[in-house]
Amino acid sequence: MKTNPGRFFEDYRLGEVIAHAVPRTVSGGERALYHALYPARHAFYSSDEFARASGLSAAPIDDLIAFHIVFGKTVPDISLNAVANLGYAEGRWLKPVWPGDTLRSESEVIGLKENSNRNSGVVWVRTRGLNQRDEAVMDYVRWVMVRKRDPAASAPDTAIPKLAPTVAAADLVVPEGLNFTRYDFTLAGEPHRWGDYAMGEKIDHVDGVTVEESEHMLATRLWQNTAKVHFDATNREDGRRLIYGGHVISLARALSFNGLANAQMIVALNAGAHANPCFSGDTVRAWSEVLDKAETPAPGVGALRLRLVAVKHGAEPFAVKGEDGKYRRNVLLDLDYWALVPM
Amino acid sequence: MKTNPGRFFEDYRLGEVIAHAVPRTVSGGERALYHALYPARHAFYSSDEFARASGLSAAPIDDLIAFHIVFGKTVPDISLNAVANLGYAEGRWLKPVWPGDTLRSESEVIGLKENSNRNSGVVWVRTRGLNQRDEAVMDYVRWVMVRKRDPAASAPDTAIPKLAPTVAAADLVVPEGLNFTRYDFTLAGEPHRWGDYAMGEKIDHVDGVTVEESEHMLATRLWQNTAKVHFDATNREDGRRLIYGGHVISLARALSFNGLANAQMIVALNAGAHANPCFSGDTVRAWSEVLDKAETPAPGVGALRLRLVAVKHGAEPFAVKGEDGKYRRNVLLDLDYWALVPM
Amino acid sequence: MKTNPGRFFEDYRLGEVIAHAVPRTVSGGERALYHALYPARHAFYSSDEFARASGLSAAPIDDLIAFHIVFGKTVPDISLNAVANLGYAEGRWLKPVWPGDTLRSESEVIGLKENSNRNSGVVWVRTRGLNQRDEAVMDYVRWVMVRKRDPAASAPDTAIPKLAPTVAAADLVVPEGLNFTRYDFTLAGEPHRWGDYAMGEKIDHVDGVTVEESEHMLATRLWQNTAKVHFDATNREDGRRLIYGGHVISLARALSFNGLANAQMIVALNAGAHANPCFSGDTVRAWSEVLDKAETPAPGVGALRLRLVAVKHGAEPFAVKGEDGKYRRNVLLDLDYWALVPM
C-alpha cells in the first residue's frame, strides 16, 4: 500500500528518533494569514519597528506559528491514530523564526505505557523544531493515547518519563539581544508592566469570537496538519468537524491581548490540556491567571507564568473544574505558559 | 482593571491627540489576502510591472489596505463604545505604502457635541496614518456617535468642525513620479479613459458577491479592528454579526472594476455613509455615478470624482433615498471619492 | 456601455490572439494562501531548502498556482458566457514561476464549431502564460461551449484543431538544473520512487475534505477569476454557488500527496473533464491510476503519467463511468497529467 496508515502503539520503540516529513519555508504570507485568522495584536510580532526598538533585527514569525508548524509535521507519525492528545510539558522556544527560514521537526520517543485494556497505549515524544541551519527553534514534550493495530500484539516495556511540572524560570531562553528598556507602552496598547501583575490575579479578556468551519480548516491546513477529524465531516457520526486544539490555543492567546498586551512573547509551555472539544459555531472567550513571576538576565525583561483558559460562551466566570475534579463542560483549554513582559 | 473598556463621550477633550496602538508592518501577504477577500483587479495594485510602467518603483499596497489598517488602529480608542459611524470627510492618500512599511495611526479630536438626550455625543476626529519615517500616508476625518459612561457627567463645550464638502481637485495628492502617458489599456482591462466618462453618467457594475461570515471576519481581523459586533455572535440579540463597513467599501470598490477598471487609485475620500447594516448571506452589488472631473499636473493623469453605491441584491436600479429622504432599505453604502484615471 | 458583457460565439475569429487583462505579481502571500486553502504538502513547493537540494535556487510557486493565475485571466474574454468547460489538452509547464514574477496571459483561437442548434458553439483556444520577461511559463489548450448573442448570426467556418491525445514524454519540459539524485525521501514523506509504481496501479488517497463556500470563493478570487456563478448565490435558481473546477483540481492534487508524495511537480496536462459540478458541503476524495511511465534526461528524474479522479464521499471505489458511457453522478473530476518523480 502506498498511503500512510499512521503508526500504531506497538510500532513505537523507546529511544527512537522519528524525522518528520515536509519541511516548510515561512514568509510574510504565513504571518498575514495568522493575523487574519486570529485577532493577534501583540506589537512585537506585528511591527518590524517595534521589534527593532526591542533589540531584534525585525519582527520574528509569531511564537505560535512556529509551534503549529513544528507540531503539524508530527501528526502523520505521531497522532494519526491517536485517540486523544493528553498533555504538553517542558516546551521552550529557543530561537526566533524569521521570514525565509525553513522548519522541520523530529521527535524522540521518551515514554511508552500500554493501557490495561490492551487496545491502546500512551506514547510520550520530545519534539524538536529545527531551522535550515539545524538549530533547534523550539522543543516540547507531548503525550498522546494511540490505538493498537492488534490488541494481541505484545507491547514494549512500560517507561514513564520524568517530566518537570513546569519549566524553571532559570531555563527560559530569552532571544539574543532582547531589550525592553526602551519599550513603548503606548504603541504596545496597554500601560501594565511586569510589576503591575500580582500572583493569583485573574483577568477576564472580555472579547469573544464565534468560530467558523472554514477558518479552523484554513489554519489547520496552513500548518500542514493532516488529521482527518478536522477536515472530513463524514468522519464522525454526528457530521461535525473537530477543531484542531491549536486553533483554540491561538484564539485564546490572541484574545488575551486585552489585559495582557505586554505579554509579548511566549517562551515556554509548561502544561496544557484540551479539556473539551470545540466545534464550529462555538463562541470562544478566554481568561488568564498569573501563576508566577520571574526576572530574566535581559535588560528590562521580566517573565510571567500565566494560566490561559479558553471557554465557550456561557461558562461560569473563572471556573475550571467541577466538584468531581473533571473539567467543566464549557472549558475548552487549560494552558500554562511563560511570557516575556517589560519590567 | 487591566482590560480596555474603551473611551466614552465625556473622556474626549477638544484638541487632544490620541496615539493609537499596535503598529503593523505590511507585506505581500496582506496584498494576497486582500486579493482573495475581494475581487480586486485594478492592474496598478496587481502588477509590479504595470506600476513600473506608470512611473513607480513597484506596486504599492492597495489604497484601501492602507485605509483599513489606519482605521483599524483607531477602533480601541474611538469607536469601541460607538453607537454609529456617522461620516467621513477630507480624506486624502498622501504617500504610497510599500511592502515592508510599518503603519501606525494617531487621531486629533477636532469636534464634540453632546446629544440632547445626554446619553451620548458626537466625536469628530482627524486621523492620520504614519509610516516608519513618520511621514503621513493618509489622513481623514470621521465622526462617530459615542455613548456616555454616565449620562449625568458634564460634557465639554460644543465644537463643530468646519469640514470641506469635498476635497478640492487642487488638493489631490498624486504619487511622485506617476505618469499615465504609456498606459496599457489592454492590460488594464478596459478602453475607457478620462475623456470617456461624462458628468452624471451612471454605471451598473453588474457583478454580485454573496458574503460569508468567515470572509468578513478574516478581513476585519487582518486590519486589527477589534469591535466586538463583527466577531461575537452572542453580542446582538438576533445572533447575527454586523459586517465591518469597510468590508462593504472594499467589496463595492472591487466590483466597480467592471466599468471603472481604469480608475486605478483612490486618492481622496470626500464623504461616506454606511446606509444600512450588511450581514452574512447578503449578495452585494454596486453602481457608480460620475460626480466631477478634474485634471492633475501629472502627465496623462486625470481625476474622476465618483459616487460608489453598494446595495443588496434586489435593490431598485440607481435608487438611493426614499421620498422621506432616508436611505432605502437595500442601500448599504454611499461613498464619494476621487480616483486617478488615464487621460 | 462601460462594463464587459463578455464575448459570444460569433465574436471569435480563427487565428486571432487575445491579450488578457490584469497582470499579477506573485509573492509568498499567494503561496501561503494556497497552503491554507488546500492540504498541499509536496516538499518541493513547501521548502526552499528541499528545492535547493533538487538543484533549483529556491522553491518555485506551486505548479497549479501558475495554472490558476494564467487561467483566471482568460475568463473575462473566453468563458464569461460559457455554458460548459469541455476539455483540456497539450498543457505544459515551461518555466518555474518565482516569487516576484508578474504573470499575464494570451489566448489564440485555434478552433471554432457552431452547434447544430445554432444557439451556441465550441471555441478552442491555446492559452499561454507569460512572465515579465515575455517568457512562456505554461501553455495549454482548452475548449468551451459559448452562447451566441444572436442565434441568427452567421457563424465562422468550422475548424476543429488536431490535438495530441497526450503530451509525448519527449516533449515534457524539465526545469533547468533539476536533479533528484540527492533526493531525501524521508523529508518528502514517502519512500516510493519511480520504479515502485506500476502501470495500471490504482491508489486510493484515503483522505477527504468537506468544502466550504468561503474557501472556494477565496481561492477563485485569488486567481482573479470573475465568473459570476462562483460568487453570486442569486445567479442560479437553486441559490447555490458552483465551485470553480480548478478548486477541485487543486483539492484532489493535494489529497493525492498521500500515496504520491514524490510526484513533486506537474509538468503536463494531457486531458481533463469536470465530470459533475461541486457544491459547498460536498466531501471531496481522490484516487489515482498510473497510466504511463517515462524517463527524462535530467539526473534522477522520472515521469509518471497519472489519472487523478476526484469524487464525492460515497462514490464507488475506482469507478468512473456508468454502462451508458457517462460519468457517474459522484465523479467530479477526471484529470490526466504528467508529474516528475525521483528515480
Instruction: Give per-residue pLDDT as tens, B217-262.
Output: 999 999 999 898 999 999 888 999 999 999 999 999 999 999 999 9
**What digits encode the pLDDT tens for the residues B71-123?**
999 999 998 888 889 999 999 999 999 999 999 999 999 999 999 999 999 99
Low-confidence ranges of chain C (pLDDT < 50): none
In a domain, C43, yes or no: no
What nine digits make up the cell of A289?
Answer: 491567571
Considering C102, C137, C163, which residue would you say is the last residue of a domain? C163
CA angle centred on A10, ends A244 and A23, rounded to 5°: 45
| Cα dist from A338 to A35, A130, A139, C154, whole Å | 22, 21, 14, 76
Q: Are residues A184 and A304 in the same domain?
A: yes
Q: Are residues A246 and A338 in the same domain?
A: yes
> Is pLDDT of A1 > 90?
no
Residue at grid coordinates 481637485: B169
Please give the single-letter amino acid code of residue A332.
L
**What digits encode the pLDDT tens for the residues C59-81?**
999 999 999 999 999 999 998 88
> Is pLDDT of A288 > 90?
yes
Q: Chain C 280-309, CB below 8 Å of chain A: which residues?
A: 283
**What digits encode the pLDDT tens for the residues C271-314?**
999 999 999 999 999 999 999 999 999 999 999 999 999 999 99
Range of the domain at A157: 1-26+61-163
Q: Are residues A197 and A325 in the same domain?
A: yes
Please give the single-letter amino acid code of residue C28.
G
Q: Are residues A268 and A282 in the same domain?
A: yes
B200 exposure class (CB count in 10 Å sphere: 0-12, 13-18, 19+): exposed
Q: Which residues contact A134 (CB under 8 A, 6 or more apart)?
A: none
Q: Are residues B148 and B13 in the same domain?
A: yes
In a domain, C37, yes or no: no
In a domain, C238, yes or no: yes
Q: Are residues C91 and C151 in the same domain?
A: yes
In a domain, A31, yes or no: no
Q: Check residue C5 and give its pLDDT.
A: 87
Task: Choose from C2, C18, C77 for mutation: most chain B CBs within 10 A.
Answer: C2
Considering C163, C189, C216, which residue would you say is the last residue of a domain? C163
Q: Are residues B281 and B305 in the same domain?
A: yes
Is C62 at the interface with chain A, CB within 8 A? Answer: no
The Cα A343–Cα A80 span in angstroms is 43
Q: Looking at residue B310, which CATH number applies to its domain?
A: 3.10.129.10
Q: Are residues B123 and B206 in the same domain?
A: no
Considering A163, A180, A198, which residue would you say is the last residue of a domain? A163
Beta strands in chain C (DSSP E): 17-19, 24-25, 82-93, 102-114, 120-130, 136-147, 202-204, 209-210, 265-274, 283-295, 301-312, 331-342
CB contact under 8 A, A187 and B102: no
In a domain, A129, yes or no: yes
| Cα dist from C75 to B57, C64, C149, C247, whole Å | 29, 16, 17, 15
Q: Check residue A73 and give its pLDDT.
A: 97
CB contact under 8 A, B4 and A31: no
CB contact under 8 A, A38 and B214: no
Distance of CA B10 to the CA centre of its chain: 27
DSSP character at residue B269: E
Q: Are residues C68 and C88 in the same domain?
A: yes
In a domain, B38, yes or no: no
In a domain, A228, yes or no: yes
As for the ipTM of the complex, it is 0.96
**What digits encode the pLDDT tens for the residues A31-59?**
999 999 999 999 999 999 999 999 999 99
In a domain, C41, yes or no: no
Dihedral, CA atoms, B337, B338, B340, C2, nearest 10 degrees? Answer: 60
The Cα C57–Cα C50 span in angstroms is 10
Q: String of b and e for B20-38 (b: at least 16 CB within 10 Å)?
A: bbbbbbbbbbbbbbbbbbb
> Is pLDDT of A89 > 90?
yes
Q: Are residues A141 and A192 in the same domain?
A: no
Structural domain total, chain A:
2
- pLDDT band of residue A84 (cuts 50, 70, 90) is confident
CB contact under 8 A, C27 and B32: yes
Q: Are residues C267 and C320 in the same domain?
A: yes
| Residue A130 Cα, gap to closest chain C Cα (Å) | 13
Is A192 at the interface with chain B, CB within 8 A? Answer: yes
Q: Are residues C81 and C194 in the same domain?
A: no
CB contact under 8 A, B38 and C221: yes
